[in-house]
Amino acid sequence: MSENIVSVQNIGMKYQSINGEINAIEDVSFSVSKGEFISIVGPSGCGKSTLLSIISGLLKPTQGRILIDNDEINTTSEKVGYMLQKDYLFDWRTIYQNVLLGLEISKKLNAENKAYALELLRTYGLYDFKDKYPSQLSGGMRQRAALIRTLAVKPEILLLDEAFSALDYQTRLAVTEDIYSIIKNENKTAIMVTHDISESISMSDRVIVLTKRPALIKSTHAIKFDCPNRTPLKCREAPNFREYFNNIWKELDVHV
Amino acid sequence: MSDKNVETSLSPERIAYLKKVRLRKTSILLIQLLILVFFFTFWEIAANLKLIDPFVTSQPSRMVNTLINLYNSGDLFLHIGVTCLETVLGFTIGTIIGTIIAVLLWWSEFACRVFEPYLVILNSLPKVALGPIFIIWIGAGPQSIIVMALAISLVVTILEVLNAFLQTDEDKVKLVQTFGGNRLQVFTKVVFPSNIPAMINALKVNVGLSWVGVITGEFLVSKAGLGYLIVYGGQVFQLDLVMTSVIILAIAAALMYQGVLLIQKKLSDGKIIGNGNNY
């Protein structure tokens, strides 16, 4: 096993409000090694996104700690990039200006980083669109632009919070394929939260299943496919895909 | 994605459709003009035939004469200028100060909660009631009129802009925070740029309200301006002057509103403002 880049240690989270206390996460621990792609699935409202916000440093847990590269984090870390449910590209900025947003905010807008951002745009086929506005791009291209915006600040770890859920199904499959290959190509570590079991199996090396609120880890599934040059679509066709799906589905214990 | 169809040969259906659209547009404009012409013609004829008393209703020809007299005496543009200046100052200052206060209240949720009831009360208070207070405090001059215009537009601006700020998409705010952005960056990168359309809308409302404020102010205290002409005309029972001034006022207000629309169009063409939605 290679070294752990992210270490989640005994995380617990209680929300306070006038009407009472919500125990969102009970006690969750796991670690992720460099280059690994892991997914977190769980019943809706189980605190998956809360967990991701805690790992990103946006939210302070009421218990436990997060280590990134063996350092405890108290605030957002430059090593972590966050992908939200929608692309949230700003309409009033061009694609290039959108991509530079993270660099502007972290005050690292220098010639070198700008060149890197342009390089990413070129590598991933958006260079010709850099002076267009988001409304002039297709959903898939927008998602790619959003990923480049995240990559421009050179994070080592990507957090994907239901990152494709706003797309229609066909686009979603294509975008998943696209984003997956970019993440692998850039050799990033990724933690994805999703409610889509197939998506989690097709992309991940490991799937963590959470219980209902307050969240605990119910089980962890190592996903292994024999296909060479693994891509999400190829995985969906693999013979053991269905088996993984059924196992996770049973554990989620969904009742209507 | 360009929607412009550069068609070299148009289908007959297309030609028929375009013709229909054009015809509709022209007829609307034509009828609009006809209403205006009929209205003034009827007014003129009715007054000439003594169906209505021009002493009470005035009539277009007498209004034209009044306009010429005003122009010849050199006062016409003085009155228009005074009122327009007061209005422009009123709504510009109102928009700027209102936006600044909205920013401060957005910044501190605590302050926002504290001042909320005061804003609500000030908003429901008819600001005209403050007129005499302004005159005593600031003096019987254009300053009081501008303050009157300001009083009417300020609270509405604060409430409207603040509301827009508070409704900024939380996920866009979160996006800035994931890059380690602080509150100032959240404001400059998201909250302010995404709400420029809302601020322009506040400006539109303010133009109308400032006219109300300025004319009210001029009714109370003034030596020049269109409001002054209206009140003066009323007092000496010169309906020609009152009617002429009202019509000039209507034209000036419409032009100023168009000016704001033009600014809005300029900004959105330059893509400085977003349309607010993501897809």
pLDDT tens, position by position, B55-78: 999 999 999 999 999 999 988 999
Q: Which residues contact B46 (CB under 8 A, 6 or more apart)?
A: B52
Give the mean model confidence (pLDDT) for residues A82-107.
92
A132 in reach of chain B (CB within 8 A)? no
Largest CA distance in chain A: 55
Q: What is the CATH number of domain B57-269?
A: 1.10.3720.10
Domain boundaries, chain B: 3-52, 57-269
- The order of strands in the sheet holding A20-33 is A71-72, A63-68, A4-17, A20-33, A215-222, A206-210, A37-41, A189-193, A157-161, A80-83
Q: What is the pTM of this model?
A: 0.82
Q: Are the C-beta atoms of residues B65 and B234 closer than 8 Å to each other?
A: no
**A107/B contact by beta carbon, under 8 A:** no
- Is there a contact between B91 and B149 (Cβ–Cβ < 8 Å)? yes
| Contact residues for A122 (Cβ-Cβ < 8 A; gap 6+) | none
Percent of chain B with pLDDT over 70: 93
Give the chain A residue whose CA is nearest to the CA of B186.
A105
Taking one residue from A and the other from B, the number of pairs with CB-CB distance under 8 angstroms is 67
Residue B193 burial class via C-beta count within 10 angstroms: exposed 0-12, middle 13-18, buried 19 and up = middle
Q: What is the pLDDT of residues B173-195, one digit of tens each?
A: 999 999 999 999 999 999 999 99
At residue B274, does pLDDT exceed 70? Answer: no
- Restricting to B residues 192-211, those with a Cβ less than 8 Å away from any Cβ of A are 193-194, 196
Cβ partners under 8 Å of residue A19, min gap 6: none
Check B180 against A87: CB less than 8 A apart: no
**Count of alpha carbons within 13 Å of B266, Cβ hemisphere only?**
7
Q: What pLDDT, on the 0 to 100 scale, is given for residue B271?
A: 54
Q: State the best of B179, B185, B194 to mutate against chain A, taking most chain A CBs within 10 Å.
A: B179
Contacts of B140 (CB under 8 A, 6+ apart): B221
Write b or e for each residue in A113-123: b if 16 or more Cβ atoms lie within 10 A of its Cβ, otherwise e: bbebbbebbee
Interface check B279 vs A, CB under 8 A: yes
Strand A20-33 and strand A37-41: the pairing is unpaired
Inform me whether the pLDDT recorded for A74 exceeds 80.
yes
Residues, chain A, total?
256
